[in-house]
Amino acid sequence: MAQGLFREGLRMSGILILGGAGRLGRELDKTLHQLGARNVVAASRAEADAADPASVLKLSNRFPGGRPNWVVCAAAWSDVPRAEVDKTGAFRGNVLAPRGAALAAAHWDAPLLHYSSDYVFSGGGRRLLHSDLRPKPQGAYGRTKLDGEREVLRITRKALGKALIVRAGWLYSEATGEGFPKKVLERALSGKPITMRTNQFGRPSSYESLAFWSASMMLGGAESSLEKGVPEVLHFAPPGETVSRYALAKRILSRAAEVSEKQGSGLDIFFTNALIGMKGFRAHQKSQPENCRLSCEQLAFFNASYCYSWQESVDKSVDNFLLPRFAIGETQD
């Protein structure tokens, strides 16, 4: 990556990542350092609880001048089913955490980057979901994510600050397959039958792609594109056509069977059998909306590097999941 692209960013006095011990926080921290950022503080909850702005403000002395140049709220409650049961935990992670991050950012007069979810929408219809479309979440998880967005909007407008809310969904790790790819592959290796929804559509996004876009956006001087007191909301997804959960699982299993056969590992039979036996079903789950087709046209307005297609990224996640199993000659009984 050409250093000139990030010339302005390299002069930054610091970036604070709240939720720095989480999957997205760790990936963003790593990516920022790879791109040459200086003085990045990835704070775990033990170091700074995003839900408690006073504990966040104690990190002032970690930055030259007593303030970071960006505050990133990667702290969140991500367990969608459990949000229906543990509403207190979901509220703390998805409402109080962004609220505390926004208050700290306002105190420092620093721009805030906050991550939200495609589940803030009702999931109805088949149209692309634009960022200015009125949200209408149906489940507890989606409601808390929307309430968190509203806290960021309220605080930022009142303080005449700068904020960017980025909605993304179907997150997974390209490096390990953690998330949906791993669940599908482990199910196949166990020999258990696989059933997948045919009526939920979206585009999978890796932590790596979201972290790279975020890092290049901040280091590329995107703060100048934000208007004081007018927080922006945009959608993130890698290039590629939308896909159903069923079709995504089919691609994952097909890739695994192909790569395993080439390696002569003997694992291809498990993935082939899973692919042949996989069943599709339709379900209407309020907590997991059907339509997750995010429109991402606004990404072009920010000085940030784009990633490759989700298809390439998912294939890499499958390869990386399988590599250690090839190395140790894993077999299944």
Whether residue 235 is contained in a domain is answered as yes
Q: Above 60 in pLDDT, residue 332?
A: no
Q: What is the pLDDT of residue 69?
A: 94
Per-residue pLDDT tens for 161-192? 999 999 999 999 999 999 999 999 999 999 99
Whether residue 47 is contained in a domain is answered as yes
Provide the domain count of the chain: 1
Q: Above 90 in pLDDT, residue 313?
A: yes
Q: What is the pLDDT of residue 266?
A: 93
Whether residue 328 is contained in a domain is answered as no
Whether residue 223 is contained in a domain is answered as yes
Q: What is the pLDDT of residue 57?
A: 97
Cα(119)–Cα(289) distance, rounded to whole angstroms?
6
Per-residue pLDDT tens for 121-156? 998 888 999 999 999 999 999 999 999 999 999 999
Supply 247's token pair: 């079709």
Mean predicted lDDT score pLDDT of the chain: 92
Question: Out of 46-60, 238-252, 283-297, which region has the weakest mean confidence (pLDDT)?
Answer: 283-297
Whether residue 46 is contained in a domain is answered as yes
Q: Above 60 in pLDDT, residue 329?
A: no
What range does the domain containing 92 cover? 3-173+205-239+288-307
Q: What is the pLDDT of residue 297?
A: 85
Query: What 3 state SS string does 234-286 have?
Result: EECCCCCCCEEHHHHHHHHHHHHHHHHHHHCCCCHHHHHHHHHHCEEECCCEC
Whether residue 127 is contained in a domain is answered as yes
Whether residue 195 is contained in a domain is answered as no
Q: Percent of the chain scored above 90 by pLDDT?
A: 83
Whether residue 59 is contained in a domain is answered as yes
Q: What is the pLDDT of residue 290?
A: 94
Domain containing residue 134: CATH number: 3.40.50.720
Instruction: Assess contact for 73 and 112: CB atoms under 8 A.
Output: yes
Query: Would the CA dihedral through 307, 313, 319, 322 be positive or negative?
Result: positive
195-220 mean pLDDT: 95
Per-residue pLDDT tens for 107-117? 999 999 999 99
Per-residue pLDDT tens for 68-95? 999 999 999 999 999 999 999 999 999 9
